[in-house]
């Protein structure tokens, strides 16, 4: 099977990779580019562990073919911390113990970041609906929701101060 | 996985050529939220995947003399963010936005929901109630057909293997018109409809219904238009009598199956209940536009 050459931007860096036409973006990120933050929990769009942002839209990378990424801007969990400084969401996940095994965490963080970029002040219901496509088998969700609310509050404060 | 090619044509004609060249073994790709699942499970084994998203106009919404034209590859999230579309067709937009999670909304399309031909597809009752049409492109050119003519049975459409949907059109709206879609699922998110009901109606200045269309999902092998249910509403102000007639017509049209989501009796009853509730919401929306 001939592989296709794909040119994209991943976390701001121009990136090229080879992909067999039937493979997913998730496969390409993990196996070709070594970006193993996005996880495969289900491979069918149900769990959100593979969440990435493509041209500003939150998507499941397990439901996107790798060649579809041609010319697109992709953001993954690996681009979230800036120069070793954790994003407020990452920091709050640690403080609130919003993870146990951590398998779902990259997906939740990417999805929560996409939410706060659209809505800096979501209420609990909005957070739960936005994150309904992210499954966690460990935490029971409450700590995740609290971490997102706390991160949002902190980010609003920082924005006001600056 | 067997040999598979990916093609992303930039014109509709090139897409038709790619489909025709594959002689029936190609699959059209819009958002991929059904297709990728089917591909990965081995349920389908196409030789070529023809991605519509690079065709000019395939992603986006434009207004044409009061009609909305929705490109076949436009994801649900884009519909929800379009203020004019959401105002004119709240039922179609709420139905589209019920599909899956935020992540699924970033990709899933109306055309994909229609062409996947699930009897429980959420946006399809709303589109049929709306009187939506679709533009089909093939080797012989373009034709426009009502949305209800696309699904033939579970997973089966009336399109030839070298045809695809280029766009979906929602007709111009008379004043005091509105629509609504409701589905019943066992939880509040991420599940398949037990029953779905779409209603679209138009009122005169006195609040009398002058036109109404009702469509039901998950109660037959395809989503169905129920003309008797629409007729039950016309001439009324949606009083108790009209609602009773609507309920009876919806139940009479329902030919559901029993499965783990619901029995025949349950689904039949719910079809009546949801039709009444969706009609009530559509009526209130239309009234508030007077
Ligand atoms: C987690 C999850 C949750 C879901 N929840 C729901 C739900 O609540 N309600 C619901 O109704 N569905 C649901 N779905 C199913 C799916 O998301 C929808 O049916 C969606 O609208 C499909 O659109 P798509 O653009 O992704 O289609 P695709 O997967 O791209 O295509 C679907 C089918 O239609 C064909 N096709 C697509 N576009 C065209 C076209 N323009 N012309 C001809 N053929 C075409 C494809 O070849 C394929 O056979 C869910 C799916 C997932 C993964
Ligand atoms: S791995 Fe993509 S949604 Fe579960
Ligand atoms: S922390 Fe284990 S699945 Fe969420």
Residue ranges of domains in chain A? 4-79, 88-161
- pLDDT of B249 above 60: yes
- Are A64 and B36 inside 8 Å of each other by CB? yes
Is the pLDDT score of A96 beyond 60? Answer: yes
What is the per-residue pLDDT across B134-155, written as a single tens digit (0 to 9) for each? Answer: 999 999 999 999 999 999 999 9
Homologous superfamily of domain range A88-161: [2Fe-2S]-binding domain (1.10.150.120)
User: Is the Cβ–Cβ distance between A92 and A124 less than 8 Å?
Assistant: no
**Residue B12 and residue B57: Cα distance in Å, rounded?**
10
Confidence of residue B127 (pLDDT cuts 50, 70, 90): very high
Which of B125, B140, B170 is a domain's end point?
B170
Whether B40 and A25 have beta carbons less than 8 Å apart is answered as no
ipTM over the 0.90 cut-off? yes
Residues in Cβ contact with A128 at an 8 Å cutoff, skipping those fewer than 6 apart: A141, A145
pLDDT tens for B258-275 read 988 899 999 999 999 999
Topology of the domain comprising A4-79: Ubiquitin-like (UB roll) (3.10.20)
Shared domain for B68 and B37, answered yes or no, is: no
Question: Who among A48, A57, A68 is closest to B101 (CB)?
Answer: A48
Mean predicted confidence (pLDDT) in A129-148: 97
- Inter-chain touch B3–A4, beta carbons under 8 Å: no
Residue B1 confidence class, pLDDT cut points 50, 70, 90: very low
Q: B168: pLDDT confidence band, cut at 50, 70 and 90? A: very high
CB contact under 8 A, B36 and A130: no
CA of B190 to the centre of ligand 1 (A): 14
Q: Given this model, what pLDDT does residue B47 score?
A: 96
B106: nearest CB among A1, A58, A129: A58
The pLDDT of residue B290: 64
Nearest chain A residue to B2 by CA distance is A1
Alpha-carbon gap, residue B57 to B167, rounded angstroms: 9
Q: Are B201 and B179 in contact (CB under 8 A)?
A: yes
B224-225 β-sheet, strand order: B177-184, B195-203, B209-217, B224-225
- CA–centroid distance, A49 to ligand 2, in Å, is 5
Q: Is residue B204 part of a domain?
A: yes
pLDDT for the residue numbered B173: 96
Which runs of consecutive H residues, i.e. helices, occur in chain B? 12-21, 35-41, 76-81, 83-88, 90-97, 102-105, 110-115, 123-129, 227-233, 240-253, 264-287
Let me know whether B205 and B283 are in one domain: yes
Which residues in chain A are closer than 8 Å to B32, comparing Cβ atoms?
63-65, 68
The count of structural domains within chain B is 3
pTM of the model: 0.97
Are residues B77 and B134 both part of a single domain? yes
User: Do B290 and B283 meet the contact criterion of CB atoms below 8 Å apart?
Assistant: no
Do B197 and B226 lie in one domain? The reply is: yes
Which of B170, B194, B215 is the endpoint of a domain?
A: B170
At A11, the pLDDT band (50, 70, 90 cuts) reads very high
Cβ separation A111–B49 shorter than 8 A: no
Q: How far is the CA of A43 from the centre of ligand 2 (A)?
A: 5
Nearest CA in chain A to B36: A63
Residue B56 lies in a domain: no
Q: What is the distance between the alpha carbons of residues A2 and B124, in angstroms, rounded to a whole number?
A: 38
- Kindly state the DSSP code that residue B159 receives in the 8-state scheme: S
| Ligand 3 lined by A66 (C-beta under 6 Å) | no
Ligand 2 site, residue A69, Cβ cutoff 6 A: no
Of B137, B134, B88, B141, which is closest to residue B109 (Cα–Cα)? B134
When pLDDT is cut at 50, 70 and 90, the band that residue B3 belongs to is: confident
Q: What is the pLDDT of residues B98-124, one digit of tens each?
A: 999 999 999 999 999 999 999 999 999
Q: Is the CB of A104 under 6 A from ligand 3?
A: yes
Residue with the two structure tokens 């970006």: A35
Residue A1 has pLDDT above 70, yes or no: no
Picking from B112, B145, B170, the residue at the C-terminal end of a domain is B170
Nearest-Cα distance to chain A for B125, in Å, is: 23
Name residues whose C-beta falls within 8 Å of residue A142's C-beta, 6 or more positions apart in sequence: none
- Residue ranges making up the domain that contains B220: 177-287
B210, B259: one domain: yes
- Contact call for residues B9 and B48 (beta carbons, < 8 A): no
Residues B163 and B183 in one domain: no
Question: Ligand 1 center to residue B143 CA distance, Å?
Answer: 22
Here the CATH number for the domain that contains residue B227 is 3.30.390.50
The CA dihedral of A77, A78, A81, A85, to the nearest 10 degrees, is: 140
């Amino acid at each position: 099977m001939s592989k296709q050459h794909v040119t994209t931007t991943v976390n701001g860096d121009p990136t090229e990779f080879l992909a067999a036409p039937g493979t997913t973006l998730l496969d390409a990120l993990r196996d070709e580019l070594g970006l193993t933050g996005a996880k495969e929990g289900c491979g069918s769009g149900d769990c959100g562990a593979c969440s990435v942002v493509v041209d500003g839209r939150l998507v499941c990378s397990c439901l996107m073919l790798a060649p579809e990424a041609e010319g697109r801007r992709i953001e993954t969990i690996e681009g979230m911390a800036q120069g070793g400084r954790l994003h407020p969401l990452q920091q709050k996940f640690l403080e609130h113990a919003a993870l146990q095994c951590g398998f779902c965490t990259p997906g939740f963080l990417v999805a929560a970041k996409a939410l706060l970029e659209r809505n800096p002040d979501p209420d609990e219901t909005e957070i739960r609906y936005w994150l309904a496509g992210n499954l966690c088998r460990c935490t029971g969700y409450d700590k995740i929701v609290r971490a997102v609310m706390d991160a949002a509050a902190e980010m609003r404060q920082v924005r006001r101060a600056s | 996985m067997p040999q598979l090619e990916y093609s992303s044509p930039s014109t509709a004609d090139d897409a038709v050529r790619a489909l025709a060249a594959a002689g029936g073994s190609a699959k059209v790709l819009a958002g991929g939220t059904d297709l990728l699942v089917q591909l990965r499970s081995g349920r389908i084994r196409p030789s070529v995947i023809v991605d519509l998203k690079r065709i000019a106009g395939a992603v986006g919404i434009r207004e044409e003399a009061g009609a909305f034209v929705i490109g076949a590859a436009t994801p649900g999230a884009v519909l929800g963010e379009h203020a004019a579309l959401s105002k004119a067709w709240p039922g179609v937009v709420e139905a589209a936005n019920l599909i899956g999670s935020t992540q699924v909304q970033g990709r899933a399309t109306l055309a994909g929901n229609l062409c996947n031909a699930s009897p429980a597809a959420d946006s399809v009752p709303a589109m049929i109630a709306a009187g939506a049409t679709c533009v089909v492109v093939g080797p012989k050119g373009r034709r426009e057909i009502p949305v209800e003519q696309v699904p033939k049975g579970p997973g089966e459409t009336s399109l030839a293997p070298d045809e695809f949907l280029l766009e979906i059109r929602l007709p111009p709206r008379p004043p005091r018109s509105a629509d609504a879609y409701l589905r019943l699922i066992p939880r509040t998110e991420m599940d398949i409809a037990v029953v779905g009901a779409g209603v679209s109606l138009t009122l005169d200045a006195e609040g009398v219904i002058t036109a109404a269309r009702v469509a039901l999902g998950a109660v037959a092998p395809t989503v169905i238009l129920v003309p008797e249910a629409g007729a039950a509403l016309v001439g009324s102000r949606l009083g108790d009598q009209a609602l009773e007639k609507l309920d009876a017509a919806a139940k009479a049209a329902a030919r559901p199956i029993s499965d783990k989501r619901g029995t025949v009796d349950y689904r039949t009853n719910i079809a009546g209940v949801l039709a009444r509730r969706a009609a009530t919401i559509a009526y209130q929306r239309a009234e508030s536009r007077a």
